[in-house]
Amino acid sequence: MFITQRFFQKELTASRLLLTIYASIACFCTYSCMYAFRKPFSAATYHVGDVDFKVILVVSQSLGYMISKFSGIKIISEMKEKGRGIGIIVLVSIAAVSLFLFAVTPYPYSAIFMFINGLPLGMVWGLVFGYIEGRRSTEFIGSMMCVSFIFSSGFVKQIGSMLMTDYHVTEYWMPFATGMIFLLPMLFFVFLLEQIPPPDAEDIASRSVRPPMTGADRIALVKKFLPGLIALVITYALLSIVRDLRDLFIANIWKENHYDKVKDIFTSTENKISLIVLVVIGMMILIKDNFKAFMFNHFMVAFGFLMAGIASYLYSQGSLNAYLWMLFAGLGLYLAYVPFNALFFERLIATFRYTANVGFLMYISDSFGYLGSLSVLLYKEFGLSHSTLWSPFMATLIMGSSVLGIVGITFSFIYFHRKYRSA
């Protein structure tokens, strides 16, 4: 095993292009496989009489995922290089067992295992991203990883839907069956991740070193950039809310708009969005200056919010059909969301040459994002009329979030621009 790793690392270190392609594929495929243990259940409806059991399942999993994100603020920021691969396998294995127990446990007690399913999976992003941060090619590799959010979410839902319709797998066994399809590929791609060599001297010179952070390191970073970080966390939380709810309840939106019988509907929009986002975000690797790239990220986020907001307004006015609405709103949301996950904090740290890692900043943002998502979901189900459809609710939510998001990202732009000039 050690000889194999040395051979891999020697070959990958010799070519930056080869390393970028290799790492991109390994990250994309690993995270795509993880989604097979998290998202397939959202392809079903889980109605039990008059009870919308799916909402209970979404709340249960989201609660576990949110707790995982809050825990990750400390755990991921302090994670050392050794043990990441084993950590990913252990976390996914716990999620797989929980899906099996979900299938064999009667309603409504099965919901507890969807909560357990979310607990380990929230840590996986930080472990995978730890292999690739602090490199000159982090933008492109990170973009590939983040595009897996879009592609794999639609893909695993399509697999789950196929298992139910073509192979008559029940909606309770479908999530476990989908996960088992991706189990062996997951192990293989984690092995590939383990072969990625650490950043070289040129990477460190360009982007700064990314060590594990202590509690004092975390407090110092927050104090130094507090106003800007608050604006970014709020902006990201808004993005996370609308992106997550669109992803979880897109099956309901398709059904409300009579697209649920359309073949491959789950992948139809998401594959197009994946390709466009990958090309646009991946090209940001061409911006060598960290400060310019960091500032440009702000414009990308604002543009994404604007596109999603306009598409939702046109849909609400009857000027855009549901398919085009989901396509353009999804494209806008991911053009704003992906920079946060792949680029934003990477360039922030590199711009100010601060001793920190992306995992800490990302897990702060994710924690409040999923807290917001869970809060909005509970409000929708229990604060509004239970008969409120998802389509008009999502359109209104996206429009409101877009306005607030543009305000938040504008404040961040002004703050960090002044901070950099004064430094």
pLDDT band for position 8 (cuts 50, 70, 90): low
- Counting residues of the chain whose pLDDT is more than 70, the rounded percentage is 96
Nearest Cα to 60, choosing from 105, 125, 24?
105
Tell me the three state secondary structure of residue 51: strand
Distances (CA, A) of 35 to 26, 45, 67, 378: 14, 18, 18, 23
Q: Which pLDDT score, from 0 to 100, does residue 411 have?
A: 98
Q: Any idea which architecture 2-422 has in CATH?
A: Up-down Bundle (1.20)
Q: pLDDT per residue over 284-320, tens digit each?
A: 778 889 999 999 999 999 999 999 999 999 999 999 9
pTM above 0.75, yes or no: yes
Q: Which pLDDT score, from 0 to 100, does residue 252 have?
A: 87
Q: pLDDT per residue over 360-393, tens digit each?
A: 999 999 999 999 999 999 898 888 766 689 999 9
Asked if residue 48 has pLDDT above 50, the reply is yes
C-alpha span between 22 and 20 (Å, rounded): 6
Instruction: Look up residue 236 and give its two tokens.
Output: 């990201």
C-alpha span between 345 and 342 (Å, rounded): 8
DSSP secondary structure letter of residue 344: I
Instruction: Look up residue 200 and give its two tokens.
Output: 């070289």
What's the whole-number mean pLDDT along residues 110-130? 96
- Counting residues of the chain whose pLDDT is more than 90, the rounded percentage is 70
Asked if residue 7 has pLDDT above 60, the reply is no
Asked if residue 215 has pLDDT above 80, the reply is yes
What stretch of H or E contains 414? Answer: helix 390-422
Question: Over the range 68-89, which residues count as b (16 or more CB within 10 Å of their CB) and which as e?
Answer: bbbebbebbbbbeeeebbebbe
pLDDT band for position 209 (cuts 50, 70, 90): confident
Q: Which pLDDT score, from 0 to 100, does residue 180 have?
A: 97
Asked if residue 356 has pLDDT above 70, the reply is yes
> Does residue 134 or residue 264 have the better pLDDT?
134
Q: Which pLDDT score, from 0 to 100, does residue 338 have?
A: 87
Q: Which pLDDT score, from 0 to 100, does residue 265 have?
A: 85
What's the whole-number mean pLDDT along residues 252-281? 87
Q: Which pLDDT score, from 0 to 100, does residue 386 have?
A: 60
Task: Write out 141-172 in H/E/C secondary structure.
Answer: HHHHHHHHHHHHHHHHHHHHHHHHHHCCCCCC
> Does residue 261 or residue 337 have the better pLDDT?
337
- Bridge partners of residue 52, in order along the sequence: 47
> Does residue 414 or residue 146 have the better pLDDT?
414
Residue with tokens 């990220």: 297
Which positions ≥6 away from 136 have C-beta within 8 Å?
Answer: 16, 202, 203, 206, 207, 285
What is the amino acid identity at position 371? L
C-alpha span between 252 and 346 (Å, rounded): 35
Asked if residue 5 has pLDDT above 60, the reply is no
Helices 16-35 and 138-166, packing angle to 10 deg: 30
Q: Which pLDDT score, from 0 to 100, does residue 11 have?
A: 66
Arithmetic mean of pLDDT over the chain? 91
What's the whole-number mean pLDDT along residues 107-124? 96
CB 278 within 8 A of CB 339: no
Nearest Cα to 335, choosing from 308, 311, 355?
308
Nearest Cα to 10, choosing from 170, 197, 165, 150?
197
Q: Which pLDDT score, from 0 to 100, does residue 1 have?
A: 47
pLDDT band for position 132 (cuts 50, 70, 90): very high
What's the whole-number mean pLDDT along residues 397-420? 97
